[in-house]
Chains A and B, each alone.
Chain A
Amino acid sequence: MLHDCIVTEFYKQRIGFFVVSAAFAFGILSGREHVNIAQTALTNLPFLGLICSLWTGYTLMVIQWIRHHLSLPEYRFLYALRTIRSGQRMRYFLYTTLQLLAPVLLYGLFIVCIAFQKNILMPVIILVSVIALLIMSTLLLLEWLIRHPAIRSQSVRRKTLNLKRPVSFSYWTLEWLLRERTLTLLITKTASAVLIAGVILYYQTGEYDLRLPALGLTLATLLNTGLSAELFSWQNHTWLWLRSLPVSPQKQIIRILTIHFTILLPEIVITWRYGWGSLQWWEMIQLNLFCLTLILLVHSLFYLLNQTLEEMVRLLFWLFIGLTFIIMYKTSISVVAAIMLVVAGINYKKRSPYSRTPPG
């Protein structure tokens, strides 16, 4: 229960932080550099202090998150843990704490291994003491929170930056995607970005024409179908009430365009970043327009067919095969983009929320 309600939720909600940290730790720094960091920490006390401060910062982040999380109404039932035996409860809390502090523990273990390998054992005592202190403080905080639910809920108020949220449906949609569909967004964007970067780098290794990046971008764009499905679901199922608002068709189309353009922005940036020098600027614009019209076509198919993503997979597969053939037969991708845009427009006009036959 604690694993599902606290540990899983923590890693899920902080996935952005962990992805960025992992990208830095394992993408930018090499294994040799990690060994050097460990060695420096073992021989240089201020540097060890710096690492311990970072771990303390991480622990404070965990503590802050737990305090807020337990104040949410849906997790108040966890206070029932107060009724079980102290020993058993502490065991549960220890298990939870170890999982929450896993990044600190694993890196600490790595430094300890290096210490034993290099036979530098004195700093290990400091290291272990700091880690034990961090575990103990998290453990005790959990116990205190469970014992003082009322005091905690009255005194804890989240400090937020007083920034005014724009009154913009497109902005809210993107915010919702980022907040509520973080995992889908991160996985999609990572996979799509890696694919595009790989294809464009490969393009630079030989004598290829625009068809190669076009094919790669077709696949990368289709990887965004999950996000497009989420957007369709958000507008037509999750928040059905939106349909009762008086919004002109032009405004609806501009919203769809803005949202999808923003979603594809990472792909567009990567195309320009890696393609600059090997692709001409007009070729990159063609590729970007091709991606945008393809995702708009896919989005319009959700309106036209009113199907779930699972039901659409077969159609998407055939769409990919069809586009592959069209591209391989040297059809101009600008022409393909124009056709896709027209078809998307027809689909949307036919089954938009305000049409005669809206989905649902």
Chain B
Amino acid sequence: MLQLQGIRKKFGDKLVLDIPEWRVETGIYWIQGENGAGKSTLFRMLAGMLSFDGEIILNESLSIRKHPVEYRKMVTLAEAEPLYPSFLTPRNLISFIAETRQAPALQADTLVQLMGIHTFLDHPFSTCSSGMVKKVSLLLAFLGNPSLIILDEPLITIDREARKILYELIQEKSKNGTGFLLSSHQVFNGQEIPVKAAYEVSNHTLNEIPAEW
């Protein structure tokens, strides 16, 4: 599903990531790491938000460099602490992303109902709680038809009900062949999320770690 080759990322002179080779097949993967280890940087690079040296290839053929638009159609990211323009409403943003990602008709409406976003759909983000904003960001990651969905700390700030729905969505999408990279400081329940393998970002690279779930 995903292949990283010769990845190096520096901020100024500080080396953040140095991953010579990493390859995973379709499935759900848990990415761990201490604060500041580089998880979010890795996710942002995978989503095409940050520059880096090296190559990322999705589904054996889509290169982030050679096919920048097609690649971005296939990879979505929900950030750990999403920030959106305060004057926009969830409805504005969902319509925009659905259009950009060419999401199937009614997909957005279904997700809005499922995630319970309809109650604050027309409230500007400035008046939304952090949990509401987080729900919107998670919804946006499921829009379109991505091959890889990256969820950075998906469980923070959302309530138990939303968490249950998120687990169901992940399972459903995973059965249909969508891959997931999840980062969380909380331990996943194996029954709720069938994690294939876990990796830790440490010493600037990704290392497989034994299962804890």
Contact = CB atoms under 8 A, between A and B. Distances in A.
Interface of A: 72, 165, 167, 169, 172, 175-176, 179, 239-241, 243-249, 353-354, 356-360
A165 B126 CA distance: 16
Given A165-B92, A169-B96, A359-B51, A239 B85 contact: yes
A213 B126 CA distance: 44
Interface in B43-66: 44, 47-51, 65
A74 to B, nearest CB: 9
Mostly, the A contact residues are loop
Given A165-B92, A167-B92, A358-B51, A246 B85 contact: no
Nearest to B88: A172
A221 to B, nearest CB: 27
Given A169-B96, A358-B51, A360-B50, A244 B77 contact: yes
Interface string B153-192: 0000000000000000000000000000000000000000
Given A176-B85, A239-B83, A241-B79, A246 B73 contact: yes
A176 B92 CA distance: 14
Contacts of B50: 240, 360
Interface string B75-111: 1110100111101110010011101110000000000
Contacts of A72: 126
B25 interface: no
Contacts of B211: none
Given A240-B44, A240-B49, A356 B79 contact: no
Nearest 6 pairs of A and B residues by beta carbon: A354-B68, A246-B72, A244-B47, A246-B73, A167-B95, A243-B49
A241 B44 CA distance: 8
A358 B89 CA distance: 29
Contacts of B73: 246
Given A165-B89, A240-B49, A245-B97, 5 more contacts: A239-B83, A248-B69, A353-B48, A359-B51, A360-B50
B67 to A, nearest CB: 10
B82 A244 contact: no
Contacts of B75: 244
A239 B96 CA distance: 15
B142 to A, nearest CB: 14
B70 interface: yes
Nearest to B78: A241
A354 B48 CA distance: 8
23 contacts: A165-B88, A165-B89, A167-B95, A167-B99, A169-B96, A172-B92, A172-B96, A176-B85, A176-B87, A239-B83, A241-B49, A241-B82, A243-B47, A244-B44, A244-B75, A244-B76, A244-B77, A245-B97, A246-B70, A246-B72, A247-B69, A357-B51, A360-B51
